[in-house]
Amino acid sequence: MLVLIALWSWSLWDALASNGGWSLSSRIAGGVTLVVLLAMTTLSSMTILVREGEVEWWCGAGWPRGRVLLGGLVDASATRSSLWQGWGIYLTAAGWGWNARALNAVRLRTAGTGSVLLGTDRPQELLDAIARARWAGAD
């Protein structure tokens, strides 16, 4: 938000100094604002769904998305993401992180692809759902 305020202040100052009009600063401020609004809309929420055979998740209206097959799952554990990792989709040393407004998370470790960190407000419920789905698939 501070970046947007600074950009629009610069744009306003530039417009006043050059007798109005759409200057380069106005175009830059408008473009950055659109990108920030798109990112905020896309990453404003995340849905995690556990169903037979897989854990699937997606941001916003369904994109971007990811999934882990339960058959390849080695371990699932509760953890916390750090504040410096932030929110959104990011690469960590252990694998990908997906987070929308939560510091609590569940780490899914797979045999072939490393691990995925899924931010959630209710990690124990997610772990329980994964355990139930794994047991149902074992029958």
Q: pLDDT tens-digit profile of 5-56?
A: 787 787 777 777 777 666 777 777 777 888 878 877 777 889 999 998 999 9
Percent of the chain with pLDDT over 70: 94
pLDDT of residue 137: 67
In this prediction the pTM is: 0.75
**Distant-in-sequence contacts of 81-86, Cβ < 8 A, 24+ apart:** 81/105, 81/117, 81/119
Give, in words, the CATH class of 46-138: mainly beta
The pair of structure tokens assigned to 76 is 């699932």
Percent of the chain with pLDDT over 90: 40
Model confidence at 135: pLDDT above 90: no
Across all residues in the chain, what is the average pLDDT? 85
Q: Average pLDDT of 81-110?
A: 85
pLDDT of residue 91: 87
Q: Report, in angstroms and rounded to the nearest whole number, the Rg of the chain calculated over CA atoms.
A: 20
Could you give the residue range(s) of every CATH 2.30.29 domain in the chain? 46-138
Spatial distance between the Cα atoms of 98 and 58, rounded to a whole number of angstroms:
9
129 or 113, higher pLDDT: 129
